[in-house]
Every structure is written in structure tokens, then in C-alpha cells.
Structure 1
Amino acid sequence: MRLRFHCQNRIGILRDIVAHFSDYGLNVARGEVGGEHGNAIYLHVPHLLHAQLATLRPELEAVPGVFAVRQVSLMPSERRHLELDALLSSLSDPVMSIDMEGHIVAANRAAGQLLGVRIDEVPGLSLDRHLPELDLPALIRRNNARVNGLRIKLRDTTFLADIAPLHREHQEDVASLAGAVVTLHRADRIGERIYQVQRQELRGFEAIFQASPRLQTVIREARRMAPLDAPLLIQGETGTGKELLARACHLASARGQAPFMALNCAGLPESMAETELFGYAPGAFEGARAEGKLGLLELTAGGTIFLDEVGEMSPRLQVKLLRFLQDGGFRRVGSDEETWLDVRVICATQQDLPALCAQGLFRHDLYHRLNVLSLQVPPLRECRDGMEALAMHFIDRAARQIGCGLPGLSSPALARLVAYHWPGNVRQLENVLFQAVSLCDGETIEPDHLRLPDVGDSAGLAGIDLESSLAGILGEVERRVLEELYPRHPSSRQLAKRLGVSHTTIANKLRRHGIGGEE
């Protein structure tokens, strides 16, 4: 049994309390002093029974300076250990606390898996056999300050290590060093997280780096559309920053101080997507909460709901969303009660919605409701003129995040970035450059530091017969460019101005390729 004594902080009070347990032949296994001013004593008496406590309580409370005695479930140190274990277990990265001899004092489950031992076997292990080329205690003494992004190799895997020194008694000199907490981040995965981490810090249109004239044009259009309280459809490939643009539009609107909620419609079962978006009534189905659940729409009241991959929405949900867009009303799942809300809807898709409409997979009326305002975010391969500036922006951000010097970008590396087809667009570029900075051990990022997977064909050459003559290849590329640009500049004069050539030249090329019906 564990007991807490609320008492005075006086000399000899612990001896007076423990004497009563000794008189009953009870052993006190452990004691701790706590409280803000040392005004609490905790005792662990393993064999104390409730009946004995009832007999002892009057005697204990009669001890001078003892105000109250009550049973508790945990000693303070036990609670701290449980909380620390829970915290460490929740971390996916390996975390270890080491002493000044290089032995592990405590670690989380991820660290045990990395070292190949059970979690209870980790304490006492020496890191020397795993890191023979690095003397961590000497490094800690030499720096006596936090170290971020130290590149180490452990069990054939490259990590970036964050090392935080531990001092005794709130001192900060080398003599008071008690060890350090070491957190390991895998160098080949850390780039995957940077987008999510930094996205929380970025706000508004100022957070969108506008190196390319194409993207600058999109941002100008978005700034004009942001204050308009009408549905907005953002189209673009994966990784182009559609949600970032949606958040910027929300913040620039009159709803900017209200909630912004996002739901990705891709991959969600119809029932789950419906309850997430519209909520459900009490007892709507087996396993439902007794009190029901508010959907994202109700949680967003007065703000903006962002529906990503709206082209993946089921027909049933399309009907409910259409009705909400028409009159602002909907019903929770399992309810006959109407709910009316004022919420702006911004949708995004990487699919061709008109084509889906033609196939009967997306409602024509819903498409026209969503397409009141529209933005087309260009893919990265169409913004190559801003590639160098964008790359240096991400390199600078990565260097600040890791805490290392700012590396340069060699010409061959830049050429490789420009030539790559970027199926993951800006998000992929950011991750690739973050990883390149973490792998670069010199002053310049070289092509070898760029981990660029060959995913699919290059968009510019997909489907082109490379066995043809040069004239045939160039003619096919010319046709594709004109087919892509003509809908945005639907006359030979507009398109000629866009491409910087004469009206006659473009008219002849359009006629040759049978595009647009130009005379």
C-alpha cells in the first residue's frame, strides 16, 4: 500500500511516522519527500492491510505536524517513470539517455529494435561497440551544448543525431555533466516529414515561394478570388501545393479567423467519409457513440471546409454535398433533423472532372456548383524557369532545420533537377533536397546526393516514338505543346503572344496539326 502524508516540513517527522509502522512489525520499503515545499511524504508499505490502516490512521494523524493521511495509487517517482515510458514509447524515432561513460541508462522501444535487443536489456549497454568511430562522452564534454544533425552510421543505417546534454543541479559547466539524451532521425526518411512539419508554420500567400512566372500568375488570380464567398475548385497534380493554396485563400478571406478543416476523400470508405463530413446522430448504428458525433462541416461553422481529391467522392456523398451547396442544409447520418450551416467549400482534384462527368462517374450539376471559381496549379515540370531559385529556397530551409551550414548547388546537380520529370512535383523536390542536405558532407550538393527515383516515364517523352526521325519527334512535341496551351489561349493571336512568335507562324502550325479550327 502507498500512502501520502500531508505534513509540516520539520526535522524528525519522518522518523516519528515510520516508528508507528515499526511498532506493528511492518516494513517501509521506500519513502519519498514531495510537495511544493517538502510538505508531503510518500511511503510504500507493501504488507499494510486496509484494516491495519484503519487502526493506525488515528495514531499517524496524531503525530505532531501530520495533517492528513490518505492512500494513493503511485509514488511520485513511479508516476514519473510511467509518464516517461509512455512518452518515449509514443516516439517513432530511437531515443536514448546515456551517461558520461557512454552506457545507455534508458531508451524507448524504437531504440531497442534498432540495437536488436529487448527493451529491458537496453539499460547498461555500451554504445562503443555500435559506434566505434565516435566517442560520444568526449563529444559531449567538448561541446557542452546541444548538437543538431550529427551524421552517424549505426548498424549500416545513416542517422542524423540530436544530442542534448544533461546537467546536475541546474548547472551548466562541464563538471556537472551527467550524460545526454540522443535522438536519432533516419537520413533517408527525414525529408518525408519536413512538408508536414513546416506546413504548420506557414501561413498565407507569403508562405508560397513564387519563383516561376506561371505560379506568380496563379497567385495573383488566387488573391482576387480569395475574398469571394463562393465555392472554389483547385486543380493540379499531386504535390503541387493545392491545400497550401486553399489555406492561403481561407486566411485572405473574411473567414480567416474561423476554422479551416480538411478532408481527403481518396481511399475513405463511403460510410466513413459520410460520418466524417456530416457526422451522425445518437445511436445511428451499432458501435456509434451514445451522444452522436459532430461532422467536419459543423466543426467548421463560419469557416472553410477543404475537400481534397473530390473526384473520388462516392455518388451518395456527391448528392449530399450538392444539396449542401444549394441551400446550406444537410442531415446527419441516422437523423431526420435538418442542420443549416454557413461554410465555404474549397475543393481540389488531380483528376479531369469533365472527363469523369462524361463517363458518368461525377455529377454534372455538382461539377458546375464547385466550378464557380477555379484555379489551375501548374506542375513543376512547367515551371523549370524558377527551378534554381526554388531549389536554393528549399536547401536554405533544410540547412536551418538540420542546423548545418548552407551548401551550394553544383551546376551538374541543378541540370539534373531541371531535367527530371518530377511526378511528385514541389513536395517531392522539397523532400529530395532535404535529404540531399542531410547526406552532403561537403560544401556543395552534387548529383550523387540527389536520390531521384525513376517513377514512370518522363511526362515530356511519354508515348513519343523515339525511333522516329528528329523532325518527327519535334513535330509530335510541337503538337502536344499547342494542344496543351490552346485551351488557355483560344486564338492564334493569343497563343502567338504567349509563345513569342508571329500570328502567321502559330496559325500555320495550328492548321497543320488540326487544332482549334483556325483558318
Structure 2
Amino acid sequence: MRLRFHCQNRIGILRDIVSHFVDYGLNVARGEVGGEHGNAIYLHVPNLLNAQLATLKPVLEAVPGVFGVRRVNLMPSERRHLELDALLSSLSDPVMSIDMEGHIVAANRAAGQLLGVRIDEVPGLSLNRYLPDIDLPALIRRNNARVNGLRITLRDATFLADIAPLHREHLDDVASLAGAVVTLHSVDRIGERIYQVQRQELRGFDALFQASPRLASLIREARRMAPLEAPLLIQGETGTGKELLARACHLASSRGQAPFMALNCAGLPESMAETELFGYAPGAFEGARPEGKLGLLELTAGGTIFLDEVGEMSPRLQVKLLRFLQDGGFRRVGSDEETYLDVRVICATQQDLPGLCAEGHFRHDLYHRLNVLSLAVPPLRECLDGIEAMANHFIDRAARQIGCRAPSLSPAALARLSAYHWPGNVRQLENVLFQAVSLCEGEAIEPSHLRLPDVGEAPGLSGMDLDGTLADIMGEVERRVLATLYPHHPSSRQLAKRLGVSHTTIANKLNRHGIGSDG
């Protein structure tokens, strides 16, 4: 059991506290001093029972200078270790801390995979055996400053290494060097890294497309809801950008500088989803870490948690989430201590939650808690008036990532994009155009470069705007027919022959709808 003593910072207070555990024959395994002014003492007493604590607590609080005693889940050092471990595990690049003899002190999971060992086998390994041609400790002493982009080869792979020296006691002379943190960037991913940097140049709502009136209206609604503290439910099909919208709402809120964490509830076993979201106490189950695990909620304290595919959440998790939404409290797995946090919840789903409630698969009370604010992201097939601007953006982005000149989009290719039903929405559009840019060897992307699987074809009038007069609706049907057929008959003469009308009629209709060019 771990205890926190809120106490006066005086000589001998620790001795006075510990003496009472000695009287009960209890061993204090570890102790730490914390608080802003050393006014908190933490003790780890492994064999202390709840009944013993109930008896001891009044005695301990009677010690002069002790103001209160309570149970805690983690010692301060354990919490720092968990937070550091969570941070390192989230990094895809290998990161290692080495001492001045070249031995690895700590590393993340990516480094262990690179070295070909388990993560618990990494500490103590000599990095020199993997880098026989480079004496890193000598390099660190010689430079005594950060080194960026050092080209190295490790296990037949080429990396650019960033080396940050570590000093003792905030000194910066060579004698105070304690080691260095080494981060390895794969040369093969440098282009992707540049692409990610470019992708982050625009953040929040500025990174979202507003070329279509439907999308512009959605962004206006989202901007009004973003600063509000209430839960937000985002509904939309797969690939419509629900997480991007959630991040934009987070950045535009008063929590924008606090953490944003995401958890996809689909496909995760119930036990894994529960420990990921709520964490677990030390020794909660067989195979658990002895120090426990922080959940995403605690790592997000003060920020925003994004729960994707919330409709897939198990009944047990629905109950715990409902409790958290009601009063901000929850219990880690295997713990009976209440934890209270200030975290905004944003959820997303592509399912019909009211329908799931009617079928008994989703709690009505949880649905009403989540649906305080709601946004509906339209599918791409309902925003085709903005597809040309989106397509040009994705083509430019793909060309930058691949490292080639950006091709243009031919009228026939644009017509093919406009006529497609897009079951994967914006994400599918981006992937299709990335592939098209990689296949294109000329100056323009043609229909042959667009790999569009004919699956999930929208039946009948699905996705068609039926507002307006009959003439407006028939005009839209005409536009779709011409846009679908034009890529296969890419001239007004060919298309006129296919449809059995005059060349002049088809040329006028193509011109009216902005499809292709007369051949």
C-alpha cells in the first residue's frame, strides 16, 4: 500500500512516522519526499492491510506536524516513470539514453525492436557493439553540444542521428557530462517527415476543407461549439475526417495547449480498452506492471479525450464512461480509490446510435450524455462541388511527398472523380490521388491513373440533392450521366454517337456542366 502524508517540513518527522510501522512489524520498502516545499512524504508499505490502516491512521495523524494521511496509487517517482514510458512508447523513432561508457541506460520500444532484443534486455547493452566505427562517448566529449543529422549505419539500416548531451547539476563543461540522448531518424522516412511537417503548417480549422458549401457550414457550426465545455458527438461515415474535426475543436478551445489523446474503441478487447482508457493499479492482474499503468484519461488531464467508434464500446465500459461524464470520477482496474479529473470528452461514430439504443446495444442515458453537442460530417459524394479543390490539394501534397513535379488533373480525370460514389470518402480520395501521382509519367493525371474499385456503388438516387425544381433535379441527373460516360468517350463527337444525339447538343451540355473539352 502506498500512503501520502501531508505534513510539516521538520527534522525527525520521518523517523516519528516510521516508528509506528515498526510497532506493527511492518516494513517500509521505500520513501520519497514531495510537494512544492517538501511538505509531503510518500511511503510504500507492501504488507499494510486496510484494517491495519484504519487503526493506524488516527495514530499517524496525531504525530506532531502531520496534517493528513491518505492512500495513493503511485509514488511520485513511479508516476514520472510511467509518464516517461508512455511518452517514449508513443515515439516511432528509436530513442536511447547512453552513459559516458557507451552503455544504454534506457530506451523505447522502437529501439528494442531495432536492436533485436526485448525492451527489458536493453539497459546495460553496449552501443559500441552495434556501432563499431563510431565512438559516441568520444564524439560527445569532443563536441559537448547537440549534434544533428549524424549519418550512421546500424544493423544494415541507415539513420540520421540527433545526439543531445546530458549534464549533471545544470553545468555545461565536459567534466559534468553524464551521457546523451540519441534519437535515430530513418533516412527512408525523411520524405515522409517533411510531408508531416508540411501537413502541420496549417492547424485546426484552417487545415480542413471548406470548398463545398456543406463543409463550410459544418466548420461554422464547429467553430461555435469548439469553446464550449460540454461533450461533443461527431457523426459521419468512415474517412470523412472526424478525428481531424475533433482535433480542430480541441485546438480552438481553452484546452488547446493541453493534451489531446485518441482511443479507437473498435476491435479492442474489453479488458484492453478498459486498461487503455482508465489504467490499472499495481498488481491488478497477472502480468501487470508492478507499478501499475496510467490510462489515457490521466495522461489527458486538463485536455481532451477523443473516443472513436464509441458505438463499439462494451456495456461495462459504457457504465464507467457514463459515471465519468456525470461527476468526473473513475477507478483504475484493480483499485478501489476514486480518481477525479477534468477532461473534455469528444466521441465519434459512423453507426446509428439511436438505433443501437433501441436494440439494447447502447445505453440511452449515455447517448444523451454524449449528444449534448453534435456535428454531422457529410460524405464526400454530397460535397462534389468542392472535389476539384480537394483533388488539386492532394495532388500537390503527394508530389511533395514523392519528390516529383505536381501533375495537373485532366478534365476527363476530374469528370471520373466527380462521378464516383466514394465509399471511403476524403481518405479514399487522398489515397487514390497519391497512387495516381506515383503512376503518372506525363504532365497530367488521366482516368487510367485512377484506381477506383467499383464496390459499394450507391443505388438509385442515393446522395443526390433533391432540393429544387424538377428541371434542377433532371439537370443534375444529366450532369452525372455525362460525367460518368465522358471518361470512356472523351470527346463530344464520341459521346454524341454513344448517346444517339447530335454533336452540337452534347458539346453544349458538356460546356454547360463544365465537363471535359470538345475534341
TM-score by length of 1: 0.54
Q: Distance in 2 between matches of 1:305 and 1:317?
A: 15
* 2:338 corresponds to 1:338: yes
1:499 partner amino acid = D
Instruction: Give the CA deviation at 1:401.
Output: 2.1
8 Å Cα contact 2:130/2:154 also seen in 1: no
Tell whether the 8 Å contact from 1:230 to 1:344 is kept in structure 2 after alignment: yes
**Residue in 2 aligned with 1:348?**
348
Q: Which amino acid letter does the alignment assign opposite residue 448 of structure 2? A: D
What runs of 5+ residues in structure 2 fail to find an aligned partner? 1-99, 103-123, 137-150, 159-185, 474-519
392-401 or 365-374: bigger deviation = 392-401
**SS of corresponding position for 1:211:** coil
Structure number with larger C-alpha Rg: 1
Would you say 1:415 and 2:415 are equivalent positions? yes
Superposed CA deviations along residues 224-282 of structure 1, whole A, max 9, x for unmatched, are: 00000000000000110000000000000000000000000000000000000000001
One-letter amino acid matched to 2:339: T
Match of 2:433 in 1: 433
> Does residue 499 of structure 1 match 2:477?
no
Contact 1:277 1:296 (C-alpha < 8 Å) held by counterparts: yes
Equivalence for 1:401: 401
Q: 1:446 maps to which residue?
A: 446
- The answer on whether the counterparts of 2:263 and 2:307 sit within 8 Å (CA) in structure 1 is yes
The answer for the alignment partner of 1:79 in structure 2 is 131
Query: What residue in structure 1 maps to residue 262 of structure 2?
Result: 262
Distance 2:303 2:125 in 1: 45
Q: Secondary structure at the match of 2:131?
A: helix
Q: What is the deviation of 1:342?
A: 0.4
| Gaps in structure 1 of 5+ consecutive residues | 1-39, 43-71, 85-96, 98-104, 111-181, 465-476, 486-497, 506-519
CA distance in 2, matches of 1:349, 1:215: 18
> Using the alignment, how far apart are the partners of 1:348 and 1:77 within structure 2?
48
What CA deviation, in whole Å up to 9, does each residue of 1:140-160 have, x standing for no partner?
A: xxxxxxxxxxxxxxxxxxxxx
Question: Which residue is 1:244 aligned to?
Answer: 244
Q: Is the 8 A contact 1:195 1:427 kept in 2?
A: no
- 2:447 corresponds to which letter in structure 1? P
CA drift of 1:79 comes to: 3.1
SS of structure 2 residue aligned to 1:334: coil
Q: Is contact 2:218-2:375 (8 Å) kept?
A: yes
User: Are 1:195 and 1:431, in contact at CA under 8 Å, matched by a contact in 2?
Assistant: no
Q: Secondary structure at the match of 1:330?
A: strand
1:293 aligns with 2:261: no
Q: How far apart are residue 351 of structure 1 and its match?
A: 0.4
- Give the letter for the 1:249 counterpart: C
C-alpha displacement of 1:431: 1.1
For 2:393 and 2:327, how far apart are their aligned partners in 1? 44
Q: Which SS does the other structure have where 1:335 is aligned?
A: coil
CA deviations on 1:386-441 (whole Å, 9 max, x unpaired) are: 11111011111112222221211111111111111111110110111111111111
Q: How far apart, in 1, do the equivalents of 2:427 and 2:381 lie?
A: 13
Mapped contact 1:194–1:431 kept (Cα < 8 A): no
Give 1:283 shift: 0.6
CA–CA distance in 1 between the matches of 2:135 and 2:452?
41
Contact preservation (8 Å) 1:412, 1:447: yes
Distance 1:339 1:402, change over 3 A: same
- C-alpha contact (below 8 Å) 1:195/1:430 kept by paired residues: no
Q: Determine the C-alpha separation between the residues in 2 that align with 1:194 and 1:391.
A: 20
Which amino acid in structure 2 is aligned with residue 404 of structure 1? C
Gap change, CA 1:446 and 1:314, over 3 Å in 2: same
Cα distance 1:198–1:346, how it changes in 2: closer, same or farther (>3 A)?
Answer: farther
Q: Report the CA distance shift for 1:443/1:269 in structure 2 as closer, same or farther (over 3 A).
A: same
Does 1:375 pair with 2:375? yes
State the Cα deviation string for residues 273-326 of structure 1 (Å, max 9, x = none).
000000000110000011111100000000000000000000000000001000
- State whether residues 131 and 154 of structure 2, in contact with CA within 8 Å, keep that contact through their aligned partners in structure 1: no
Q: Cα distance 1:499–1:220, how it changes in 2: closer, same or farther (>3 A)?
A: same
Q: Per-residue deviation at 1:109? A: 7.6
Per-residue deviation, residues 49-80 of structure 1 (Å, max 9, x unmatched): xxxxxxxxxxxxxxxxxxxxxxx986958535
d(CA) in 2 for partners of 1:205, 1:80: 49
Alpha-carbon spacing, 1:80–1:351, altered in 2? closer, same or farther (3 Å)? farther
User: Which residue of structure 2 lines up, in the alignment, with residue 153 of structure 1?
Assistant: none
Q: C-alpha separation between the residues in 2 aligned to 1:108 and 1:411? A: 46
1:389 matched residue in structure 2 = 389
Q: Which residue is 2:317 aligned to? A: 317
Aligned pairs (5 A) from 1:121-136: none
**Partner Cα distance (1:429, 1:324) in 2:** 38
Equivalent residue number for residue 34 of structure 1: none
The Cα shift of 1:217 comes to 0.4
The 3 A distance-change label for structure 1 pair 184 and 300 is closer
Counterpart contact for 2:280–2:333, Cα < 8 Å = yes
* Secondary structure in 2 matching 1:233: strand
Task: Report the 3-state secondary structure (helix = DSSP H, G, I; strand = E; otherwise coil) of the residue aligned with 1:79.
Answer: coil
Shift of 1:500: 3.5
AA in 2 matched with 1:440: C
Judge conservation of contact 1:280–1:332 (CA < 8 Å) in 2.
yes
| TM-score, with length taken from structure 2 | 0.54
Whichever residue aligns with residue 319 of structure 1, its letter is V
The letter of the residue matching 2:209 is F
Task: Please say if residues 260 and 306 of structure 2, whose CA atoms lie closer than 8 Å, have aligned partners that are also in contact.
Answer: yes
Alpha carbons of structure 1 residues 75 and 197: separation in structure 2 relative to 1, 3 Å: closer
Q: Amino acid of the residue matched to residue 383 of structure 1?
A: C
8 Å Cα contact 2:130-2:155 kept in structure 1 = no
Aligned residue-pair number: 310
Counterpart residue number, 1:210:
210
- 8 Å contact 2:280–2:332 — kept in the other structure? yes
Q: Give the distance between the partners of 1:404 and 1:417, measured in 2 at CA.
A: 22
- The corresponding residue for 1:424 is 424
Q: Distance in 1 between matches of 2:387 and 2:156?
A: 41
Distance 1:73 1:393, change over 3 A: closer
Change (3 A) 1:82 1:332: farther
Give the aligned residue type for 1:310.
V
Residue aligned with 2:306, SS: strand
Matches within 5 A, 1:96-175: 108=156
Q: 2-side partners of 1:229 and 1:422: how far apart? A: 34
Instruction: Give the letter for the 1:359 counterpart.
Output: E
Partner residue in 2 for 1:8: none
Q: Secondary structure at the match of 2:307?
A: strand
Amino acid across the alignment from 2:257:
Q
SS in 1 for 2:342: coil
